[in-house]
C-alpha cells in the first residue's frame, strides 16, 4: 500500500468511548497493506483523561462524564462544536517519528487558522496550538507497532465553560479560546473548518486527495 493512500471518514457526532474502541480495533487489526485513515467528527460532552492524567486536574466535572483514554497527555474536554480529527497513520511506513507527526499536526492547524485570519503558534514545551497564549487546539497521540491513532481537536464554535472545570492539559489557569470567540458567531461553519483543515493535513502528511 503506497504511503500516499488514505481513507477519509466523516463520522458526525459520536460518543467518545464508541470511537475509542473503534480506533483501537482498527489499529490492532491493520497490517502493512492497510490504508491510513482520517476520521472527522464531533463528540458528545466528555472529559478524557490521558495516560499521564492526574485526578487532581479534574476540578469539578459535574454532570459531564470522565473517561480514561490510552492517548498521551492529561485531561481535556470534547463537546459539540469542537472539530475532532483522528489520524490513523502508519508512521513507520511514512518514515515519521512521533515528534515529527506532532509537528505536522500543529503546522496544519496553524496554516489553516492563518488562512482565515488567525495568527497562531505552537510551543515546544506544551503540544497544541495557541493564540495569544490561549489554547485553541489540543493534541494527543498513541503509537502501537509503529502506527498512531488519536489526533487533534480544534475549538470551533463550542461552549468553552467546561474547560473551567479542569486544568486543561494539566496546566492550572490555562485559558482556552475558539474560532467563534476570535472571529464572531457568523464567521464559522463546522463544515468549512473541517474541509479547510483536512486540506492542510493531506498536504502536510503527503496524501493523495481521495477521488
Question: Mean of the per-residue pLDDT values for the chain?
Answer: 92
Reading the block at residue 13, the C-alpha cell is 457526532
Work out the burial of residue 101: count CB atoms within 10 Å of its CB; fewer than 13 is exposed, 13-18 middle, 19 or more buried.
Answer: buried
**Is 169 an annotated catalytic residue?**
yes
- Catalytic member of 29, 148, 157, 169: 169
Cα separation, 170 vs 55, whole angstroms: 10
Question: CB-side exposure of 194: number of CA atoms within 13 Å?
Answer: 20
Contact 72, 141 (CB under 8 A): yes
Q: Tell me the C-alpha distance between 36 and 178, whole Å.
A: 29
pLDDT in tens, 96-126: 999 999 999 999 999 999 999 999 999 988 8
CA distance 98 to 151: 11
| Cβ–Cβ < 8 Å for 131, 40 | no
- Give dist(CA 103, CA 156) in Å, integer: 21
- Those residues with Cβ within 8 angstroms of residue 117's Cβ, 6 or more apart along the chain or in another chain: 183
Rounded to two decimals, the pTM is: 0.95
Q: Domain locations in the chain? A: 6-205
Cβ atoms < 10 Å from Cβ of 12:
8
Q: Model confidence at 5, in pLDDT bands (50, 70, 90)?
A: confident
Residues 26-74: tens digit of each pLDDT: 999 999 999 999 999 999 999 998 877 777 888 888 999 999 998 888 8
Please state whether beta strands 75-78 and 82-90 pair in parallel, antiparallel, or not at all (unpaired). unpaired
Say how far apart CA 49 and CA 160 lie, in whole Å.
18
Alpha carbon separation from 205 to 31, 61, 64, 97 (Å, rounded): 19, 36, 34, 12
Pairwise pLDDT comparison (206 vs 5), residue with the higher score: 206
Question: What CATH code would you report for 6-205?
Answer: 3.30.930.10
CA atoms within 13 A on the CB side of 6: 25
> Can you say whether residue 26 is alpha, beta or left, with left for phi > 0 and alpha for psi between -120 and 50 degrees?
alpha
Which parts of 30-174 fold into alpha helices (H)? Answer: 91-94, 98-115
Amino acid at each position: 500500500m503506497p504511503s500516499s493512500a488514505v481513507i477519509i471518514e466523516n463520522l458526525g457526532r459520536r460518543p467518545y468511548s464508541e470511537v475509542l474502541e473503534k480506533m483501537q480495533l482498527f489499529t490492532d487489526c491493520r497490517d502493512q497493506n492497510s490504508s491510513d485513515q482520517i476520521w472527522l467528527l464531533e463528540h458528545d460532552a466528555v472529559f478524557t483523561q490521558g495516560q499521564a492524567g492526574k485526578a487532581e486536574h479534574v476540578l469539578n466535572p459535574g454532570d459531564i462524564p470522565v473517561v480514561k483514554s490510552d492517548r498521551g497527555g492529561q485531561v481535556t474536554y470534547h463537546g459539540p462544536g469542537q472539530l475532532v480529527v483522528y489520524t490513523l497513520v502508519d508512521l513507520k511506513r511514512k518514515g515519521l517519528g512521533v515528534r515529527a507527526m506532532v509537528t505536522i499536526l500543529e503546522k496544519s492547524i496553524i496554516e489553516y487558522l492563518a488562512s482565515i485570519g488567525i495568527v497562531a503558534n505552537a510551543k515546544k514545551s506544551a503540544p497544541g496550538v495557541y493564540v495569544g497564549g490561549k489554547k485553541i487546539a489540543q493534541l494527543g497521540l498513541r503509537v502501537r507497532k509503529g502506527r498512531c491513532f488519536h489526533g487533534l481537536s480544534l475549538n470551533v464554535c463550542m461552549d468553552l465553560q467546561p474547560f473551567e472545570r479542569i486544568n486543561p492539559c494539566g496546566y492550572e489557569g490555562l485559558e482556552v479560546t475558539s474560532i467563534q470567540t476570535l472571529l464572531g458567531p457568523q464567521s464559522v461553519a463546522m463544515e468549512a473548518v473541517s474541509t479547510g483543515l483536512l486540506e492542510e493535513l493531506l498536504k502536510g502528511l503527503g496524501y493523495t486527495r481521495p477521488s
